[in-house]
Amino acid sequence: EADIYQTPRYLVIGTGKKITLECSQTMGHDKMYWYQQDPGMELHLIHYSYGVNSTEKGDLSSESTVSRIRTEHFPLTLESARPSHTSQYLCASSEYSGRGPAYEQYFGPGTRLTVT
C-alpha cells in the first residue's frame, strides 16, 4: 500500500481567499505531481517536481503555485480562489520501480475544492 496523504479532503471557501492544499508521502519518492480533475473525468497535470527545490508547470495552465522544500511534502497554494478553481485536486508520487521504464504513480485520496 502506498502512503500518500492529502488534507483537507473537502473544502468550501469564498472567492478571494488564499488556500493551501497539503500533500505528504512517506515513501521517500523523489517525484511528485499535482493533477486537476473534474470528478470522474480526464486528468490534467498542473505541477510536478523531480526533487527538492525543483518544480515545474504541467500541461494545463494553472493559477496555483507549488513548493518542494522537503522530499515528503508538496503543497499547492491558490493566492486568490475563484469559482473557476472548483475541482478535485489529486496528488501523486512515483519512484522508478527497477524494471523497465515503469514510473508508476501512487495517488492520494484527493481534495474536493468548492469556491463560492
Which residues contribute to the site for another protein (CB under 8 A)? 6, 31, 33, 40-43, 45, 48, 50, 90, 92, 94, 99-110, 112
Q: How far is the CB of 45 from another protein (least distance, A)?
A: 7
Q: How far is the CB of 79 from another protein (least distance, A)?
A: 25
List phi, psi (to 5°) of 83.
Answer: -55, -30
Residue 50 grid cell: 523531480
Q: Of 66, 107, 73, whose CA–CA distance to 90 is shortest?
A: 107
Nearer to another protein (CB atom), residue 16 or residue 51: 51
Nearer to another protein (CB atom), residue 48 or residue 74: 48
Pairing of strands 111-115, 76-78: unpaired
**Amino acid in position 81:** A
Nearer to another protein (CB atom), residue 17 or residue 43: 43
